[in-house]
Structure 1
Amino acid sequence: LVQWDFFFLNVTWKCLDILELAELFTSDYAELFFVSPSEWNDVVVAREGSPTILVCTDTNRGSVAINWMVKPLGVRQWKLLLSANDRKEFSGGSLKDSMRLSDPEFGESGDFSLFFLPTMEDSGFYLCMIKQAGRTVKEKIILLAILKVTVIPAPPILQYATLRLIATVSPDFAVTKITWAAPGGVSMRSEKHPKFGTVAKLPQVQNSDSGAYVCMVHPWGNSSKALFAFNVDVSVEVASFTNITHGPLISTGTLAHTSFPLTCPAVQGDYVLLYWLPPDSKKQNNMKVVFTYDRWRGSTLLTEQSKRLQLAGPPRHDGGPYICEVFLNDNTFSQRTLLSVLKGNGFTRLLELGCVYSELSQVQSATWKHENQSRRLRMISSGPGSITTVVPLPITSDTAGNYTCTLQLKNGQTVLATHTVTLPPEESVSVTTPSLLPCLSALLLLVPLVAVAVSVLLWRQKHISDRIEQSLSVQSGETENIYENPQDIRQVMNQIVEDDVYKELEAGKQKALHHL
């Protein structure tokens, strides 16, 4: 590691190649090899094209002479701008049309300041040399830095546009930093770019953003001022923002409560807006803003819905159309996503398997299927966005297995929700009765045995319900949609349950009488 100090420039060199070294030496920093910061007495920052005065005063009066000289950046020798005494004035070859002494009566006032309207090319070093009786009585070197401010778009700015404030200073080494403040003195975020200068942006401007913005330039080294402030007036007019690029519509689906990434335009923008419309809404103009991000103001708006989308995945009622808009300078990029959310429900008491879904406009069909494709399931629908199938009791090897609800979209994509119904474990009830018990005691056993039989049946049904598990997956496949009357299914199911209860009670009675 070698450390070199070039006046105020302190650079730690690690592994710079020849090209990097050459680039540094051909930049504004190359001037540092010719002029030390101790060689100038003041730094003045002037805005391009604005009236500027390089102040130079002295207490000597009477017969005095003034010489103003300039040394542009990268030049070793001084050049004469003008020379004057109490009788006449001489112009040098480097004098600009707008240059003149601030006070023609400088011999009486002691004000030898230079006035002109600088351009970016006028940056450099200026020397004020005062002589009296052929002797130099004062020298003052001023480093003049020129500020160029660019406002894009040019005022008046249309509402909802992105305001860009760009500040460039030449030479760059004359200042330590440039900052921006909005009307009211609010600090703005800014970024420094090697090619463009210091940039501050204000996306989505409103009428309230009109006013005076302040560019503050902080000089480096000897300076009579800690900073130079320049006002930039900005006015905003009401207008529509129509320069929008629309991406292709995305039609997709997902399972409820699973992570789902919403697609936004692939643009490094300044501002992001996410709109949402509840699924199956009749009014398409009531979209809600659910998420905003402003990179320059450093603000983010999260609603309860956008938090669910980011953390836990959307519930069924969070389906619907989403529009993500990204703003970059004067351009807007928009991406629309139509989302259907599928949710499977298992109503274990009735052994009904339900399936609900949203955003019906893009749904082709919805159906239940058993893992045994040859089994035909009876399905019912309580209304749009819902389909149910019933598993008959008791659970057998034929009815156990995976039941899959398949949602097929019109674009061919499918979303699956799977429920697993398992067989109950083998159960046995054994009751031992002593042979010497009296008949009355045997008869008294009848009531407990019946109660035990009923309890076993209820326990088995509850155990079956508790073993229903849910697993979710997404894949492609062909589906069909069949709707049945719910009353037919419920009547058949109730009849099966009643028959099974009577059979269990009858079996309990026969066992008790056998022991008698």
Structure 2
Amino acid sequence: KVSKQTKFADALLFLSTLDEYDVVVVRENNPTTLGCAGNKLTGDMSINWMVKPGNVGEWKLILSVNEKTTFSGGAWKESIQLVDSHSQSTRDFSLLLSPKEEDGGLYTCLMKHQKRKVKEIVYLLAVFTVSLYPAPPVPQNSILRLIGRVTPDIAVTKITWTAPGGLLMKTERKPNTGTVTKLPLVQKSDGGTYTCTVYPQGNSTGVLAATVNLTVDADKVAPFTNHMIHTGTEAQKAFLLTCPSVQGDCVKLSWLPSNFNRGKYPDYKKMKLVYKYDRWRGSAQRKKAGIRLAGLPYNAKAGSFSFQMSLDLSDGGIYICQVFLNDNIFLQNTTLSVLKVKTSNYSSKLELLCRFSEPHQVYRAVWEHSNESRQLVSSSRGPGSISTTLPLPITSDVVGRYTCILQLKNGQIIRADTVITVPSKGEISFVSDILLLLVPLLHTHTHTHIYRYTHLQDLKPRGDE
């Protein structure tokens, strides 16, 4: 089995042995002429037109002409003929054809006298096709794919796509497909004429352009398929929110704040768009501070999406990452709790306050001291908080590490610490506020709470609420 790299190398090697050849790029089904003129055919002189389809394999005879007759070979098609039916007398042996994509390849006009080569003219015929998916009128919010393809592809140095107004678009060259550009979440304003331009290599006649007209049906919204994605995350201050592990075209991150997430029945109508990135247009919209696209091992420009987040207590809630790829949308739902410890100094006491979002996921919350024999009295101001107090002045028997411990309903234990030390010069000494992220995730099938597990909700993409 010959690899594509081997075929490419063999083709270049063959072309390098030729004194001269012409590159002809033509739109599919457009009539084109491959010129060939010579001496008047007399005696043992003949003209043979041959082709190597796709620039691979063996030469195949299209037709042969001598002084008395013209006969067709195995590669002859009805779409191929001589320009002049009286070529024996006019000495014009040019070939006229309306090529399909599969007709691209090497063509040679070989002149022989007594089976000896007298003259040879070689053409590299490349067939140019353009296509767009889905077919117009395109449903709104579709991922529009524009594809330009040349067969064989060694005939061109590059292919570009230009948007209405002349803006050069981002493209990717994909094996066995062509040069692709995309318009994620296409809108009516994206309608217009898009131009694909090919730049032939070698002795060519110049660039060739083709256009496609895009119309968008604003009354029809593209259907999307929801896929189940399961993932886990680590609890840390600098939080990495992972997205579905597919190479997408566009990503949207939406957030449902804690006050709209009451556990069993979240109000998804209150979702807010906090980040949107379109890798094809190269555009990013950030509507919430502390969120950015994650770097390595992720690569947003290549379609690998995740988010690096720096969160505070008020940032808890449900985060939904939507990755768009062609006609599919992949959803990943992460319910995120944020735990924060704060110390407050009053005239007669020091209060250690532990606050946390998404209290519906918490089974038990307590304060503990590093000296396990010392029992602490904890109190709550309401859902999402628990506090304990230390009498002032601070003495050596109460110093140490104080830990706020949350036990989630699935049994997972989450901790946040603060350290109290003996004050110097009459001051109370303690560490600064500590922020910890919790990632208990709601499993909607069984209505139990599972830590480090995300579940896709059966949601359709919404607008930028």
TM-score by length of 2: 0.71
Looking at structure 1, the residues matched to 316 and 391 of structure 2 have their Cα atoms a distance apart, in angstroms, of 32
After superposition, residues 248-263 of structure 1 pair within 5 angstroms as: 248=230, 254=235, 258-263=237-242
- Which letter does structure 1 place at the counterpart of 2:223? F
Show the counterpart of 1:414: 413
Offset of residue 422 of structure 1: 2.5
The counterpart of 1:340, out of the listed 337, 340, 363, is 337
CA drift of 1:105 comes to: 11
Alpha-carbon distance in structure 1 between the residues aligned to 2:140 and 2:360 = 35
Q: How big is each residue's C-alpha offset from its partner over 1:205-227, in whole Å with a ceiling of 9 and x where there is no partner?
A: 223333333221111111122x1
1:122 aligns to 2:106 (yes or no): no
1:418 touches 1:473 (CA, 8 Å); kept in 2? no
In the alignment, residue 143 of structure 2 is paired with which amino acid? T
Question: How far did residue 125 of structure 1 move?
Answer: 4.1
Mapped partners of 1:53, 1:95: distance in 2:
16
- The AA in structure 1 aligned to 2:430 is I
Higher helix share: 1
- Matching of residue 209 in structure 1 with residue 190 in structure 2: yes
Q: Tell me what 1:47 maps to.
A: 27
Query: What is the rounded CA distance, in whole Å, between the counterparts of 2:234 and 2:57 in structure 1?
Result: 68
Which secondary structure does the structure 1 equivalent of 2:336 belong to? strand
Instruction: Check if 1:328 corresponds to 2:290.
Output: no
Which structure 1 segments of 5+ residues have no match? 1-18, 61-65, 131-137, 426-458, 477-516
2:275 is equivalent to residue 275 of structure 1: no
Q: Residues 111-260 of structure 1 correspond to what in structure 2 (within 5 A)? A: 114-126=95-107, 141-225=122-206, 227-237=207-217, 238-248=220-230, 254=235, 258-260=237-239
TM-superposition CA deviations, 1:330-384 (whole Å, max 9, x none)? 2222111111111111112441222222122322232323334444434443343
Aligned with 1:69 (options 18, 24, 49): 49
- Compared CA separation, residues 186 and 333, structure 1 to 2 (3 A): same
Can you give the 5+ residue segments of structure 2 that lack an aligned partner in the other structure? 40-45, 112-118, 262-266, 294-306, 439-465
The equivalent residue for 1:298 is 282
CA distance in structure 2 between the partners assigned to 1:278 and 1:34 by the alignment: 65
Structure 1 position 100, deviation (Å): 4.8
How far the C-alpha of 1:261 sits from its partner, in A, is 1.1
- In 2, Cα distance between the equivalents of 1:28 and 1:189? 25
Residue in structure 2 matched with residue 435 of structure 1 by the alignment: none
* Cα contact 1:126–1:144 (8 A) shared by 2: yes
Q: Name the aligned partner's letter for residue 160 of structure 1.
A: N
CA contact 1:418–1:471 (8 Å) conserved in 2: no
Cα deviation, 1:423-464, whole Å, max 9, x if unaligned, reads: 346xxxxxxxxxxxxxxxxxxxxxxxxxxxxxxxxx63xx2x
**Alignment partners' CA distance in 1, 2:358 and 2:96:** 72
How well do the aligned residues superpose, as a CA RMSD in angstroms? 4.3
User: How many Å separate the matches in 2 of 1:302 and 1:349?
Assistant: 40
Secondary structure class of the residue paired with 1:317: helix
Q: CA deviation at 1:278?
A: 1.5
SS of the aligned residue for 1:280 comes to helix
- Report which of the two has the higher share of strand: 2
Displacement of 1:200 in angstroms is 2.4
SS of equivalent to 2:363: strand
Higher Cα Rg: structure 1 or 2? Answer: 1
User: 1:145-164 CA deviation, whole Å, 9 max, x = no partner?
Assistant: 11244434444443333233
> How many residues of Structure 1 are paired with residues of Structure 2 in the alignment?
405
> Could you tell me how far apart the structure 1 residues matched to 2:214 and 2:399 are?
72
Per-residue deviation, 1:189: 1.8
How many Å separate the matches in 2 of 1:32 and 1:242?
Answer: 44
Distance change (3 Å), C-alpha of 1:158 and 1:84: farther
The separation in 2 between residues aligned to 1:359 and 1:376, in whole angstroms, is 27
Partner of 1:468: 430
Identical counterparts, % of pairs: 43
One of 265, 277, 299 as aligned partner of 2:244: 265
Match for residue 449 of structure 2?
Answer: none
Residue in 1 that maps onto 2:271: 287
